[in-house]
Amino acid sequence: MAFVALAHDNGELREVGISRYAADPGMERCECAVTVADDWRHRGLAVLLMRHLIEVARHEGFKALYSRDLGENDDMRELAEFLGFSRKQDADDPSLVIHTLLL
């Protein structure tokens, strides 16, 4: 599942953001990600895209959404905290953290 945000830029449509999830085997959890174009950051687009993704994941019956992110990714940390995700160190890779939202 994916949501794509498009914007008009000089008369052309341009992709400015995307959120997506992919189901784990067993269909109880799904890994999610969000990306926003640099010139669209800090304008609420990531929150909007993720809220749509969360709503669909709940509707589809998933129990949790999670993402693996670099520990130094402050933008993702702030977004995850704002949306209610918990955060823990990845036991397999100390440079990564896992953000999890129980649905």
User: How many C-beta atoms lie closer than 10 Å to residue 51's C-beta?
Assistant: 14
Fold of 2-102: Aminopeptidase (3.40.630)
Nearest to residue 97, comparing CAs of 75, 26, 37? 75
DSSP state of 2: E
Place 27 in a pLDDT band, splitting at 50, 70 and 90: confident
User: What are the domain boundaries of the chain?
Assistant: 2-102
Contact 54, 82 (CB under 8 A): no
The sheet with strand 12-23 has its strands ordered as 2-9, 12-23, 29-36, 64-70, 96-102, 86-89
pTM (two decimals): 0.91
**Tens-place pLDDT, residues 42-78:** 999 999 999 999 999 999 999 999 999 999 999 999 9
